[in-house]
Structure 1
Amino acid sequence: MKLDSLLQLGLDERDVTVYRALLKLGPASIREVAAESGVNRGTTYETLKQLASRGVVSYFPRGKRRVFQAEEPERLLQLGERRQQALSQAMEQLRSEVIPELKQSQARFNPGNVRFYEGDDGVELVLRDILDSAGKDPERGYAVISTKTLRQHLYRPFPNFTKQREARGIRVRVIAVGEGGDEAEYAERKWLPSEADADASYIAIYPPKVAMITLAARDYPVVVIIDSAAIASTQQLMFDTLWRLL
């Protein structure tokens, strides 16, 4: 039985073991559940109390003892729906209140505005950051300067990036250094001639951020993200000027 979906509900393996034992037994005492599940009696009792607080286990008195009973498995769906609703409310509060308030107290520029990443994970982080940021104004989109030598490595960790960008209608203008580059929807491309292969470089301008990717030894990606409206504005001005000249 795959436990991933149950773990996402906030249950752990012990919770699942105890619940399944109780489901198999029907109404049962703590001692019976402990014997069936293989979990010690004290831990079984604490686990049953936690499951009862989540609404997937109930109990009733039988003489001087307390008897536990597993609720129908469909109750897990309700647990998931409550968790999903709480997460949605938390996300909305983050967007509308918490993040704006935190950004007001953030220093205009500090060393934390420059971030360094390495490897394919760093590249994927940049690409997802571009989608999230540019997706707020897809018509404006973002701008890219990219060399031929880096293109083959760029989408390795995020092969469906372009499809996601197109699905969200995010526009991009690309200045390609050297030949090549695939045509895509919502994308404009101009070429900057290069007599020889330029050093691997990818610069993405998506105000207020600028991301730069290059390759170290053995094609190992190195990533820098600068979160600065001033720097992004200057880079955008330089890009727009070069775009008009090509």
Structure 2
Amino acid sequence: MSEELKQAGLTENESKVYLALVDLGPSLAGQISRKTGLHRRTIYDTTEMLIKKGLVGYILKNNRKLFQASNPNRLLEIIKEKENLISPLIESLQLKYLSTKEKEETNFYKGKEGLKTVFEDQLNSKEILILGASPKAYEVLQFYFKWYDKSRKEKKIKAKIIATDKKIKKIPLSEIKYLPNKYENPVAVNIYDDKTAIILWAKEPIAIVIKNKEIAAGYKSYFELMWKIAR
């Protein structure tokens, strides 16, 4: 129980003294000292802190203090008081955090699991533009794209895809156009909302995701230009 009380915000000595008083009932400092193994001076300091927290009270009997534990429900009240105290702070921090998140970000991802994070982020968007779709994507992530395309279809997220390999076809909710093979490139660019994901489809894939409205708008303009050229 001592460990749980520490997690609730009590110090080690406070936990020992409170538990001792629950066991002993109203007790003198000397009795608490013998029960806990703590020095009497420490008992007085600790009970003073517990009194301030409302976890311990005392009665005077023959001019001597008998300490007693308060109802354990007081522990819940302390936690609620802390929640009430910290809630406005959390709200303030959350606003600052969200305002920071609105600013541009650049995140790097490596490996198959990192790439899955990138594609799952795209499932929160309205439309995805893919420049340079490669069959290597299916080689690297294999069955993952079946789940991804199914999820995208369920969420009704459309995609426009520019590829060089005509083996890429019949992808749900997707328009596909093709460029000549001479434009084949291991790097693909996925544009969605205000984000641009630059993906290198290597054996150990790498992705850079840039959150920036101007950069995303620039890549969208370039995509639309290539879309007109593609067949």
TM-score, normalized by length of structure 2?
Answer: 0.54
What is the CA distance between 1:230 and its match in structure 2?
Answer: 1.7
Within the candidate set 205, 209, 216, 1:232 is matched to 216
Q: Could you say if the C-alpha distance between residues 22 and 2 of structure 1 is closer, same or farther in structure 2, counting changes exceeding 3 Å?
A: closer
Q: Mark the runs of 5 or more structure 1 residues left unpaired by the alignment.
A: 155-161
Structural RMSD (CA): 5.5
Give the secondary structure class of the aligned counterpart of 1:10: coil
Q: How many residues are treated as equivalent by the alignment?
A: 212
How far apart in 2 are the matches of 1:43 and 1:125? 53
The match for 1:89 is 88
Q: Please name the residue that 1:17 is paired with.
A: 16
Within a 5 Å distance, the mapping from 1:168-207 to structure 2 comes to 172-173=157-158, 205-207=192-194
Amino acid at match of 1:26: G
- State whether residues 160 and 175 of structure 2, in contact with CA within 8 Å, keep that contact through their aligned partners in structure 1: yes
Q: Is the 8 A contact 1:205 1:235 kept in 2?
A: no
In the aligned structure 2, how far is the partner of 1:234 from the partner of 1:5?
56
Q: Could you say which structure has the larger radius of gyration?
A: 2
- The aligned residue for residue 147 of structure 2 is none
Residue 67 of structure 1 pairs with residue 66 of structure 2? yes
Residue 31 (structure 1) aligns with:
30
Equivalent residue of 2:9, what SS? coil
SS across alignment from 2:78: helix
Counterpart selection for 1:114 from 98, 106, 109: 106
Percent identity between matched residues is 23
Q: Specify whether residues 88 and 48 from structure 1 end up closer, same or farther in structure 2 by C-alpha distance, changes over 3 A only.
A: same
Counterpart of 2:138, as a letter, is K
Tell me the SS of whatever aligns to 2:67. strand
| Gapped regions of structure 2 (runs ≥ 5) | 145-149
